[in-house]
Structure 1
Amino acid sequence: MTNRRQLLTLGATAAFSAFIPRLSSAAGGRDPRFVTIILRGALDGLTAVPPAGDPDYAALRGDLPVEGAIPLDSTFSLHPSMNAFARQYKAGQALVIHAAASPYRERSHFDGQDVLESGMTAPGHTDSGWMNRFLRTLPGAQTASLRGLGVGGVTPLVMRGQAPVLGWAPATLKPVDADLPPRLLSLYQATDPLLASTLTEAIATGKIVGAEKGMVKAGGGPGDPKTMIAMAEGAAKLLAQPDGPRIAALAFEGWDTHAQEKQRLANLLGGLDGALAAFETGLGPAWRDTAILVITEFGRTAAVNGTGGTDHGTAAAAFMAGGAVKGGRVIADWPGLKTGQLYEARDLKPTTDLRGVMKGIMADLYAVPESALSRDVFPDSAGVRPMSGLIA
């Protein structure tokens, strides 16, 4: 049985606050939303966004050519499982950043995710994430009146830290009896006002997320496409509230495609695409001021392995979507796929630092000074300039 301390801890990250002010310092007087989706397991960017126009691509990929890919420009195409993203791209509300990576150059999932989500230059240096530290640069954060949103069974590292965080995850267990919450609330109101307040906020969160019929019910874990969509639907409902959170992080699992990548990645990309569509629908008018960033800890090998998959690599593709995104383009300093152009003769070479992308979003969407981004959000990153022109 969960004890009082555990429930209070849960409430601190699972309760919805109705007193979160708008970010008055946002650039252009906007009321923006910023969402980061982490794809854990290492996305194969060469399959998600195949460089079909590169003369070395087809021979290098062997049994993994993408059939029916959607052309984006003269060089790059999009996996056919991402029709919603293709529509957003055509509408100028989505873009791709290819050959991108964090500062990490090894191939350990755990260390790669640590660097990506912590925003540090090496693993094991902090237990806070760059989105949480970003929250603390915004008005209201120092008084605990501004919260982030962490979606999943465990708050992603990228959103952990000193700034308060609202946590939510789709229900995958059998629902409790309908009369249990009010009975508990009545008990706590008589015996423990702090627990009563926590439970009241938690019930409010559940009502907001489950307010409408037709929501996709979560299937398996966070690597199940139905669960991805359910996570996005719930997050969008919370972010769309007039006084709800404005900054959120989600983590989708299962992107480690060592074998049978063709079938598995099509399924996973379909889930990601459905999640991006769910954000667009669920955010409603707030979509126009939203930027969603999709990133992964590293890419995969340029060549196919012997089991119809790819192994741990380096650079990958990142995605951005939202009404605030200056889209309709692929941003890439393309390194090429010849053996001499590959990183360590095996991986897509990284030519864009993801920290520059993140800094660019925060600088243009929230008017955060570059000095604060390099000092407080991404320590030791003064040499990485914010990428300009990502926000419309």
Structure 2
Amino acid sequence: MIMLSGIGRRQFIQACSLLTLGFTTPISFANSIKDPRLVVIILRGGMDGLAAVPAYGDPFYRSSRGKLALNTPRMAEGAIDLDGFFGLNPNFKSLAKLYRRQEALVFQAIAPPYAQRSHFYAQDVLETGLTAPLGHSSGWLYRALTGLTAGRSPEQYAYSLGAGIPRIVQGQVPVGAWAPDRLPDPDEDTLERLMALYEQDSYLGPKLQAGFNADQMINSMGGKLKGRNNLSTVAKAAARFITRIDGPRIAVMDSSGWDTHAWQGTTKGRLANRFRELDTVLENLMHDMGSVWQQTAVLVVTEFGRTVAVNGTSGTDHGVGSAAFLLGGAVRGGRVESDWPGLAKNQLFEGRDIQPTLDMRALFAGVLHQHMGLDRNFVEDVVFPGFRDQVRGLFRTG
């Protein structure tokens, strides 16, 4: 009989949810500068890249953006200057500090290789790394795991944090999973009966025990982690997991609510609140990672951008080109990566969207090869079949 002393509501509920996911505890790894970590944050809904990273130096910025145009730097509620042409939304104060510390890279006019503006299809392309939505394909990060883990299983090397398993890490073998709950603690008798029920099951028994072990691992660092199933809570969990010597090395999470068709706002309002929340999450993640931050890269991406012009309900509609961020102590930051296409009407994609000039797969490929150490041929042949490009110079040792 497995002893249940000290196991509380978190272990009970999470273990039940993991019965259908497949889960094992992480393997030990060497904790050194050669031991990289990767955090991927997907902003679902289509973040307005021009609101996040305004091209205030473009001569057509203010006229094309209308009432959604931000003030220039040094004006009241103006953009935070980056390089004299691009800025950051003023709600990204912590991200701006990382940029000045050369620990953040900003990408503008970037997109997955898909331009039809469907949330579902665009997210499929973003997460599978292919050029068309295919329902049966594995995620690109899952395919990368098969070359990164050196005989270890994906569920030992990568965790999905939050509700559901993002397509980006879906494949034949499930990755690890954790999600917060706010349910009351079950009593010891219920726990005893649950473990007794599945103890002799050769498949479910180990999975149940693994779920308990995972919760014990995360709760051993700072006590029980409570909170809503939101980005703030799961990011804190990510830091706890991947800073452990025996923890995973990749964490994936997502955030919804970035589809701003109405009342979008500029420095205040719905989108500004999302920016401020994301900025706080990134700052807290840096602090929670401690010294491991120096071995870490954090990718923040979205499936597509928004229209340049405001719509009739003071929002923006689905677009194509957007912005992305790469930050972390391992990042060679302090610059904006963009082959800027311009905002004149004839420079826009189909006369309405930012024309993407950088395939997002080039960013992903650069992170996998330069930071995670994945063989370039493997990246080009297996992870992104037939794609031969990558952004260079992303990391201090890359």
TM-score, normalised to structure 2's length? 0.87
> In 1, Cα distance between the equivalents of 2:211 and 2:224?
22
SS of the residue aligned with 1:35? strand
Q: Which of 197, 202, 209 does residue 200 from structure 1 map onto?
A: 209
Q: Deviations over 1:177-236 (max 9, x none)?
A: 253674246524754465443233212322333442696722xx6xxxxx2111100111
Partner of 1:285: 291
Partner of 2:234: 231
How many equivalent residue pairs? 373
Aligned positions of 1:371-386 closer than 5 A: 371-382=377-388, 385-386=389-390
1:107 aligned onto 2:117: yes
Q: Which amino acid aligns with 1:387?
A: V
For residue 271 of structure 1, report the CA deviation from its aligned partner: 1.8
Partner of 2:309: 303
Q: Which of 48, 51, 54 does residue 52 from structure 2 map onto?
A: 48
Partner of 1:68: 78
1:177 aligned onto 2:186: yes
Partner of 1:336: 342
Contact in 2 for aligned 1:121/1:380 (Cα 8 Å): no
SS of the residue aligned with 2:109? strand
> In 1, Cα distance between the equivalents of 2:152 and 2:330?
27
Q: Percent identity?
A: 40
Q: Which of 120, 143, 159 does residue 133 from structure 1 map onto?
A: 143
Q: Deviations over 1:99-142 (max 9, x none)?
A: 00111011100000000001111002533100000000124346
For residue 22 of structure 1, report the CA deviation from its aligned partner: 4.7
Structure 1 gaps of 5+ residues are 1-6, 222-226
Partner of 1:254: 257
Q: Which amino acid aligns with 2:29?
A: P
For residue 337 of structure 1, report the CA deviation from its aligned partner: 0.3
Partner of 2:360: 354
> In 2, Cα distance between the equivalents of 1:57 and 1:45?
13
Partner of 1:39: 43
Q: Which of 205, 222, 247 does residue 212 from structure 1 map onto?
A: 222
For residue 90 of structure 1, report the CA deviation from its aligned partner: 1.3
Further displaced range: 190-199 or 125-134 = 190-199
Q: Deviations over 1:348-385 (max 9, x none)?
A: 01011110111111111123222211111012313xx1
Further displaced range: 283-292 or 160-169 = 160-169
> In 2, Cα distance between the equivalents of 1:31 and 1:181?
41
What RMSD, in angstroms, separates the aligned Cα atoms of the two structures?
A: 2.5
> In 2, Cα distance between the equivalents of 1:181 and 1:260?
49
Q: Which of 21, 24, 27 does residue 19 from structure 1 map onto?
A: 27
For residue 74 of structure 1, report the CA deviation from its aligned partner: 0.2
Q: Deviations over 1:317-374 (max 9, x none)?
A: 0001111111111111111100011111110010111101111111111232222111
Q: Which amino acid aligns with 1:21?
A: F
